[in-house]
Structure formats: C-alpha cells, structure tokens
Amino acid sequence: MSDLKTAIVHEWFVGYAGSERVVESFTNIFPDADVFSLVDFLNADERSIILNGKQAHTSFIQKLPFARKKHRNYLPLFPKAIEKLDLSGYDIIVSSSHAVAKGFKKKDNQLHITYCHSPMRYIWDQADQYLSGTKGLIAKIFIKYLRNWDLRSAGNVDYFIANSNHIAEKIKRIYDRESKVIYPPVDVDKFGVSENKESYYLTASRMVPYKRNDLIVDVFNSMPDKKLVVIGKGSELKKIKSIAKENIQVMGYQSPEVLKDYMQKAKAFVFAAEEDFGIIVVEAMSCGTPVIAWNNGGTAETVIDGKTGILFDKQTKDSIISAVKKFENSENNFDANSIREHSKKFSRKKFENNIRIFVDEKVKLFFNT
C-alpha cells in the first residue's frame, strides 16, 4: 500500500465539527495523502488539528462571493464543483461525505471508499427543515436534479462505511447499497469523571431548529423547580433566550474547556434531536454523566437505557418530562465510572484501528496485492 497514492475528499472546511473529526483521523491514518474540498477557510489552529497544517485543494466555489460564510447558498453548484476536482492521479480515494464529496469523477482503476455521515440531508429526509429562506427556494428548484445526481454518484463508491446503524439503514433505503458500520471518533481521553455533581441539567448543541432546543426549554419551563443550563450558538439563540424562564440559564457559545466543566458537573445531559450519531452525547457519557435522549437515530445506539441514561420514545414535551421524572426516581442507580467505561467503545483509537483494518482489506481485494 506504501506505493499507492492516496487522496482525502471532504465537503468543506469552515470549522471543527463532527465530520472534521473524522477527517482529522483520516489525516492521522494517511499522513501523506492530499486533501480536496469545495472550500477551505480553516484558521491556523483548526488547520493544525484537522489537516496537520496542510491546505486543501479547493473548487471554484472557493473564489465565489461570500463563500466563506455563505458557501451553502451555492448548493445547486456543488455537483459541478466536486466533479471538476482533478483526482485522476490517485489510486485510493477516501471521502468524508454528508452531501457531495462522494461525487468526484472516478476512474475504474481507482478505489473509492466513502465514510457516509448521512445521505444528503438537504434533499432527502430533512429537506423541509433545511430548504427554507432564499437558499431553500433556490434549492427546491433544483431538488429533482440534485436527487438524481446524488443517486448516480452513489455508483461512484466502491465501499460505503456508515457512521451508525441508523445511517446504514438510510444508505440501503436511498442508495440500495450495503455498508459497514464504524462509529465516528470521540476524544474520550480528553474528558474525565467528576465526583462533584451539581443540581442542574445540561443541554448543548448548535442552536438550529432540528436540534429541538426549544422543546427542551419548554419542558423545563414547565418544571420550575429544576435548573437547566443551555450552551451553544446559532440562528435560534435569540428565540431560546426569549422563551427561557428564570430556572433556565442560556449561556450561548462557551469554550471547550468551559463546556467540559459543565458536562462533568451536570446531574444529567438532555438531548432531543435525531442525530446521525451524536458525538456530544458520547462526550457527556465520557464525563460519567447520564444522558436523557430520544430513542431514535444515533443516540438510540449509544445510550443504554437504564444503565448510561434514560431513553424517551417520543419527541414530545410529555415524553421528556416522564423521562426526567424516571431519571430522578432512579438517579442513584447510575454509576459514573461505568458510564465512562461504556463511552470508550467510541474512542478515536478504536475508530482509527477499525478504519485501517477495513481499508487494508479492501485495498488487497481491489488491487490483488
């Protein structure tokens, strides 16, 4: 494999989130690989962590107006932009895809493995949540084209890796393709158990509609004897602040160190979104903190009901209230060290080892080595 040239493809580099953590591991596994993306606007610290200081080879979207903050507005151009990236000189191409990264032009003698965070949310299961406003109106015009292109581009993939069973089911349903489930990397070693638990509940995520922070706040508005801390930034932050009552502290963005401190001391972490995987939920468990989460999507796979948290069956106020009450009635049954031990199943070390094994196996099959 040492004489085979490798490339890594990712949608865009504009910050350090879940999918970038996967690319971080890819650059650890393939340190000599070249990196490609639609745009690259990382700052120096992010570049050092994710790309080991490298600059990605970017598409024409990099030079379009307002691309740094409004790159998603160019969604109808994404297929053409990814297809114009020149990856003809590579033997192995590993893509990290939640939109179009898997859709570059591929030759028959190139091995393409895609780590699929999700089929393109904008045009499939969550289209109604994403396609709003001006960019949504534009995207709706192109949605049939984008769906047809997305289905064709799935044929560009030799092997799919899914980040959860939840996503593996979507890959099968939408693309009619099988996939190997390898859970994404969580830096559990950066967290630790605190013995000084306090009396507040915590929720933390981006403040966007599908995260359902509004629902969690509504739940605790109706339970004024319970304190909730809300951490995160995004388009719904003003709304969340406006509806939160006195027992709810809305803190906005906080540094990773501050967030970790709140995670370690919270009595429980509350999460109501349907996630592909949900890294922050595992981070909370790595602090020994029980999680109250929806029994759907990735959290249904990572949280063990009654052992590492409480799962509620419906994304409703009443269901979450019942889960909080159930948690408080059984709070003493949760062992912080056992919860942390469970989180280690999702460590970065385990992820990188599983990816190496999978890629090595497929390289030997593909190139008959």
Q: Which of 8, 70, 16 is nearest to 43 (CA)?
A: 16
**114 located within any domain:** yes
pTM, full prediction: 0.89
CB atoms within 10 A of CB 135: 17
**296 located within any domain:** yes
**pLDDT recorded at residue 310:** 98
Quick one: 356 and 338 in the same domain? no
Quick one: 160 and 253 in the same domain? no
- Structurally, how many domains does the chain consist of? 2
Quick one: 121 and 265 in the same domain? no
Residues 253-272: what's their mean pLDDT?
A: 96
Give pLDDT tens digits for 147-188.
999 999 999 999 999 999 999 999 999 999 999 999 999 999
Quick one: 334 and 266 in the same domain? yes
Quick one: 154 and 261 in the same domain? no
Residues 26-43: what's their mean pLDDT?
A: 97
**147 located within any domain:** yes
**pLDDT recorded at residue 129:** 58
Quick one: 274 and 131 in the same domain? no
Mean pLDDT of all residues belonging to the chain? 93
Quick one: 361 and 276 in the same domain? no
CA–CA distance, 339 with 304 (Å, rounded to integer): 9
76 — pLDDT class (breaks 50, 70, 90): confident
Give pLDDT tens digits for 303-328.
999 999 999 999 999 999 999 999 99
Quick one: 319 and 356 in the same domain? no
**1 located within any domain:** no
Residue 317 sits in a domain whose CATH number is 3.40.50.2000
Quick one: 158 and 204 in the same domain? no
Residue 75 sits in a domain whose CATH number is 3.40.50
Give pLDDT tens digits for 83-110.
999 999 999 999 999 999 999 999 999 9
Given a cut of 80, is residue 296 above it in pLDDT? yes
Given a cut of 90, is residue 127 above it in pLDDT? no
Percent of the chain with pLDDT over 90: 86
**301 located within any domain:** yes
Quick one: 142 and 229 in the same domain? no
Given a cut of 80, is residue 1 above it in pLDDT? no
Quick one: 52 and 124 in the same domain? yes
**pLDDT recorded at residue 293:** 98
Given a cut of 60, is residue 132 above it in pLDDT? no
249 token code pair: 């502290």
Domain that holds residue 229: 188-345
Quick one: 11 and 124 in the same domain? yes
Given a cut of 80, is residue 52 above it in pLDDT? yes
Percent of the chain with pLDDT over 70: 95
What would the 3-class secondary structure string for the chain be?
A: CCCCCEEEEEEEECCCCHHHHHHHHHHHHCCCCEEEEEEECCCHHHHHHHHCCCCCEECHHHHCCCHHHHHHHHHHHHHHHHHCCCCCCCCEEEEEECCCHHHCCCCCCCEEEEEECCCCCCCCCCHHHHCCHHHHHHHHHHHHHHHHHHHHHHCCCCEEEECCHHHHHHHHHHHCCCEEECCCCECHHHCCCCCCCCCEEEEECCCCHHHCHHHHHHHHHCCCCCEEEEECCCCCHHHHHHHCCCCEEEEECCCHHHHHHHHHHCCEEEECCCCCCCHHHHHHHHCCCCEEEECCCCHHHHCCECCCEEEECCCCHHHHHHHHHHHHHCHHHCCHHHHHHHHHHHEHHHHHHHHHHHHHHHHHHHHCC
Residues 56-77: what's their mean pLDDT?
A: 93
> Cα 102 to the chain's mean position, in Å?
17
**224 located within any domain:** yes
**143 located within any domain:** yes
Q: Please say whether the beta carbons of 12 and 71 come within 8 A.
A: yes
* CA angle, residues 298, 301, 304, in degrees to nearest 5: 130
**25 located within any domain:** yes
Residues 245-260: what's their mean pLDDT?
A: 96
CB atoms within 10 A of CB 208: 17
